Amino acid sequence: MHEITKSFRGRTYGMLLLLLLGGCLANTGSTFLSGGQKEAPAWVLSPPADTSAVIYGVGEGTDLDEARLAALRDVAAKLRVSISASTDSQVNVSNNFVDRSSSSKVSEEVRKTTFAKHQLEKTEVYPHSVYALVSVDRQMLVNETKSRLDEKDRALRAGLDSARARTGLERLRIASQLKPVADDVVDLLSLMSSASQGFSRVAYTKQVDAWRQLNDDALRNLSFRLQFQPADQDVANLLRQMMSESEYRIVETGQATGVVQVSTESTYQSIYGSTQLQLKLHVSLRSEEGRVFSQKEYQAEGASLEDRAVARQAAVRKLAGELKKYGAAEVLGFNGAH
């Protein structure tokens, strides 16, 4: 009888404790889901509708700064979606909890979009995250983007004038240096077209087309010849393939605008029965007259339990990945670095 009374009393205390906790939670004015997660506020589930004057964005992060940045990217994604149908952006709602995700083919453009001026409208703190609602004034966005576009356009025009005054390898170098500028102009043009319906992009597009034509002509008028020792045939083949894929014209004999000299240095070590190789690649580009245009050095490591040849094959494979990451223009020095 004593044991039964003790058990009943324990259950009674447990019920009273749950009722008290329930009352405390009710007094906070917030509803909690399983796991202690508060339900999302209405403005997260259904953000304010955009207007002709204001664009809204919702974001989530581990702190306010991160949530604000995510919200601004949400605004950028809206603008990008209006000019690209290739975006996959979705909002999943389950039990009043929002899982907002955005994976897009234009995610890089969204990431690069910046808003110097915006308003933080609302925030909501969760146990492990923060939500933010921001607004961006459409006209201020247009003015800011137009200013940045004009700055890039001026740089592109000046670069084109400089390139036209050069010939051969130097002209291609300047054209290659202008690529990120031209890409920025194209990116800002897209943003402007989305933010401002009456914007005319004709004059800006003309300069981008002029850069493309100059770059194509500069590349088409050049030819290159590879020079290397037989022992470096494997590495020379990497350069040959990379250059061909980037439409650099390679000749085997006769005159060439540029000569690509390829050489390697190999340092071997034997460690616990394994052959370790450090392979250094030297790439230099010079004119047919012998003037050095650029010099670059790359390295990779390889190892083998068999012999040096297998270790070199492993190092060359790693080197191939490294060169691909940089690209032909970087390896040959057309990005401006000597």
**pLDDT tens by residue, 75-108:** 888 876 554 433 333 333 333 333 333 333 344 5
The alpha carbon dihedral of 113, 119, 122, 123 has a sign of: positive
pLDDT at residue 330 above 50?
yes
The closest of 218, 292, 208 to 249, measured between CA atoms, is: 218
Between the ranges 27-31, 189-193, 194-198, 210-214, where is the mean pLDDT highest?
Answer: 210-214
37 or 9: which leads in pLDDT: 37
SS3 96: coil
What mean pLDDT, rounded, does the chain reach?
80
Are the beta carbons of 88 and 77 closer than 8 angstroms? no
Residue 130, C-beta contacts closer than 8 angstroms, at least 6 positions apart: 60, 61, 62, 63, 64, 66, 67, 123, 124
d(CA 68, CA 70): 5
Q: Do 42-137 and 140-220 share a fold?
A: no
Residue count (the chain): 338
The reported pLDDT for the residue numbered 113 is: 67
d(CA 164, CA 187): 24
SS3 186: helix
Domain chopping of the chain, boundaries = 42-137, 140-220, 224-332
The reported pLDDT for the residue numbered 196 is: 83
d(CA 76, CA 112): 9
- Which CATH fold topology does 140-220 show? Methane Monooxygenase Hydroxylase; Chain G, domain 1 (1.20.58)
Q: Find the Cα–Cα–Cα–Cα dihedral 132, 137, 140, 145, rounded to 10°.
A: 60
Q: What is the pLDDT of residues 274-317, one digit of tens each?
A: 999 999 999 999 988 889 999 999 999 999 988 899 999 999 99
The alpha carbon dihedral of 163, 167, 168, 170 has a sign of: negative
What is the percent of the chain with per-residue pLDDT over 90, rounded to a whole number?
Answer: 54
Residue 271, C-beta contacts closer than 8 angstroms, at least 6 positions apart: none
Name the CA radius of gyration of the chain, rounded: 31
The reported pLDDT for the residue numbered 110 is: 56
174 or 13: which leads in pLDDT: 174
- What average pLDDT does the segment 119-136 reach? 90
The closest of 293, 262, 292 to 280, measured between CA atoms, is: 262
The closest of 258, 265, 259 to 231, measured between CA atoms, is: 265
The reported pLDDT for the residue numbered 254 is: 83
What is the percent of the chain with per-residue pLDDT over 70, rounded to a whole number?
Answer: 77
Are the beta carbons of 278 and 301 closer than 8 angstroms? yes
SS3 191: helix
The reported pLDDT for the residue numbered 75 is: 87
Give, in degrees to the nearest 5, the angle at Cα 326 between 322 and 331: 100
Residue range 224-332, CATH number: 3.30.160.150
The alpha carbon dihedral of 194, 197, 202, 203 has a sign of: negative
The reported pLDDT for the residue numbered 232 is: 96
For domain 42-137, the CATH superfamily is: Acetamidase/Formamidase-like domains (3.10.28.20)
Q: What is the pLDDT of residues 247-267, one digit of tens each?
A: 999 999 888 999 999 999 999
- What average pLDDT does the segment 13-17 reach? 37
Tokens of 290: 């012998």
Tokens of 91: 């909002």
- What average pLDDT does the segment 67-74 reach? 89
The reported pLDDT for the residue numbered 194 is: 82
Side-chain-side CA neighbours of residue 83 (13 Å): 19
159 or 336: which leads in pLDDT: 159
pLDDT at residue 50 above 60?
yes
Confidence of residue 193 (pLDDT cuts 50, 70, 90): confident
